[in-house]
Amino acid sequence: MWKTYLRQIRYLLKENKFFSLVYILGTALSITMIMLILITYYINTANIGVEDKRDRMFFFTRAYVVKPGTDATGDKFYDGLQSSSPVGHKLIEKYMYPLKTPEAKSLVVNMQSVVYNKTKQVNEEMSAISTDADFWKMFSMRFLAGGPFSDVDVKSNARKVVIDESTARALFGKTDVVNYPIDIDWKEYRVCGVVEDVPSYLSDAYAHLWLPYTTATSRFFRGGNNDLRDIQGPAKMYLLGYERSDQELIRQEMEHQIQKLNAPAKKSHFTLNHQPDTALESLFRMSSDPYDKIYTRMQVVLVVIIVLLILPALNLSGLIVARMKKRGEEIGVRKAFGASVWNIMGQLFLENFVQMLIGGIIGLCLSCGLFQLVRNTLLVSYRTAGNDLSVKGVDVLNFFHIINFSTICYVILICFLLNLISTLLPAWRYARISIVEALNRR
């Protein structure tokens, strides 16, 4: 039976080449568009490369200062908002480090450090992350030599640094460089570990140097200048839950801590504005908006996806109807020999699904190539600001980070939905036609 179907599909594809071409390209177009959005989503939120715990990672990235009693939703938020900035390291140290719900909690500052290259005898600007020991629990970096710095190192201001492979090669010509001295921001550090390069599109972990935040240059840690100066600064915080569902528990515990912070009545209050965010939520968080805007933005993207799905599907369904008209007798004959409505509908579905899959594969390849071309436009966002992407741009994406089990599943799912929308109505209409009428069409 299946063989017959497949043979028939091959025949159909050959019979009207132009029709097949238009049909397949129409599908490919729709799938390319949707896949560009879904790959952006995937690169930013899926467990890929060293960022393999994103599904249970949460982000606390912004400190919002508001008038006391400000409602955190809707337009009232704008009236009450006094300022919004990244988070101060003292707020994290004092109120967030004591959190008990998360498995790990890490303070992170993205910055540009100056590294002295002895071979070239020049100072070079490099992306660096100032952080603490928990950072290494968040990400699965592969150490080529040595290991990470410890909590004791951070607390004792030990000048230890983890560098990536390409930096190690550029500075020392090899990777086995544990305990070698390295001049960062005109201070001598010792290399304690060398890790494999992190591609720049994995923006939460990406840097060339990782150093204890207690040793970083002091100008990064100037406070804000209002009466809550400790809560604003250069930092953000990553929190690792035991499970995805820990988000709400962590939020509650953080809210509890914030109450302590806000307790002395002041002109200004700090608000979490519904943080911490999941990776997806943090993608949609803008600097000074109330948190419900995150979901509004997500809905807009969802509507765009639905439009991208439905518009071509409806148009393709026009093409299918045109072809069904021609195949009336065939359906009649099949029914006369005992095929049920479901048999016929199943066959029509399969026929179109196979054509769509061809379009889907073309679409996936197109979107893969296209994504590489427009990766700077799609992946440079405020989330990556502070990295050295201004000059270099986003690294070329690893092939398997674009084409893999998940993205192929997305394509199959989209093809299925497209097929369902475009074939259902014509198939239902023609499969129920009576035998006599179908045979009598011509």
Q: Can you give the binding site for other proteins, defined by CB under 8 A?
A: 18-19, 22, 26, 29, 33, 36, 112, 114, 121-125, 185-188, 217-219, 308, 311-312, 314-319, 321-322, 325-326, 374, 376-378, 380-382, 385, 389-391, 442
As measured in angstroms, the least distance from the Cβ of 321 to other proteins is: 5
Buried/exposed code over 171-194 (b: 16+ C-beta within 10 A; e: otherwise): bbeebebbeeebebbeeebbbbbb
State which residue, 3 or 442, has the beta carbon closest to other proteins: 442
The residues with which 237 forms a beta bridge, in sequence order, are: 60, 107
Number of Cβ within 10 Å of residue 230's Cβ equals: 20
As measured in angstroms, the least distance from the Cβ of 440 to other proteins is: 12
Q: What is the Cβ-side half-sphere exposure of residue 125, based on CA atoms within 13 angstroms? A: 9
State which residue, 6 or 307, has the beta carbon closest to other proteins: 307
As measured in angstroms, the least distance from the Cβ of 289 to other proteins is: 14
As measured in angstroms, the least distance from the Cβ of 423 to other proteins is: 13
As measured in angstroms, the least distance from the Cβ of 196 to other proteins is: 25
Task: Please report where in the chains the tokens 């599908």 appear, as a residue.
Answer: 27
User: What residues contact 251, with CB distance under 8 A and at least 6 apart?
Assistant: 272, 274, 275, 276
Q: Is the separation of the CB atoms in 57 and 48 below 8 Å?
A: no
Task: Please report where in the chains the tokens 């599907």 appear, as a residue.
Answer: 313
As measured in angstroms, the least distance from the Cβ of 385 to other proteins is: 6
Residues in the chain: 442
State which residue, 3 or 17, has the beta carbon closest to other proteins: 17
DSSP 197: P
As measured in angstroms, the least distance from the Cβ of 314 to other proteins is: 7
Q: Of 145, 173, 139, nearest to 161 (Cα)?
A: 145
Backbone φ, ψ for residue 220 (5° rounding) = -75, -15
Query: How would you classify the pairing of strands 236-240 and 104-117?
Result: antiparallel
State which residue, 49 or 426, has the beta carbon closest to other proteins: 426
Q: How far apart are alpha carbons 134 and 152 in whole angstroms?
A: 12
As measured in angstroms, the least distance from the Cβ of 320 to other proteins is: 8
State which residue, 121 or 245, has the beta carbon closest to other proteins: 121
At 390, list the tokens. 């201004």
State which residue, 6 or 303, has the beta carbon closest to other proteins: 303
State which residue, 259 or 440, has the beta carbon closest to other proteins: 440
At 402, list the tokens. 């674009």
State which residue, 269 or 375, has the beta carbon closest to other proteins: 375
State which residue, 319 or 435, has the beta carbon closest to other proteins: 319
As measured in angstroms, the least distance from the Cβ of 283 to other proteins is: 13
Q: How far apart are alpha carbons 85 and 222 in whole angstroms?
A: 13
Q: Is the separation of the CB atoms in 426 and 371 below 8 Å?
A: no
At 411, list the tokens. 């394509």
Q: What is the Cβ-side half-sphere exposure of residue 35, based on CA atoms within 13 angstroms? A: 33
Inter-axis angle of helices 405-431 and 341-373, nearest 10: 140
As measured in angstroms, the least distance from the Cβ of 405 to other proteins is: 26
As measured in angstroms, the least distance from the Cβ of 408 to other proteins is: 22
Number of Cβ within 10 Å of residue 37's Cβ equals: 16
DSSP 107: E
- DSSP letter string over 3-26? HHHHHHHHHHHHHTHHHHHHHHHH
As measured in angstroms, the least distance from the Cβ of 46 to other proteins is: 21
Question: In 133-209, where does DSSP find H-type helix?
Answer: 135-138, 151-155, 165-172
Q: Of 208, 203, 219, 202, nearest to 126 (Cα)?
A: 208
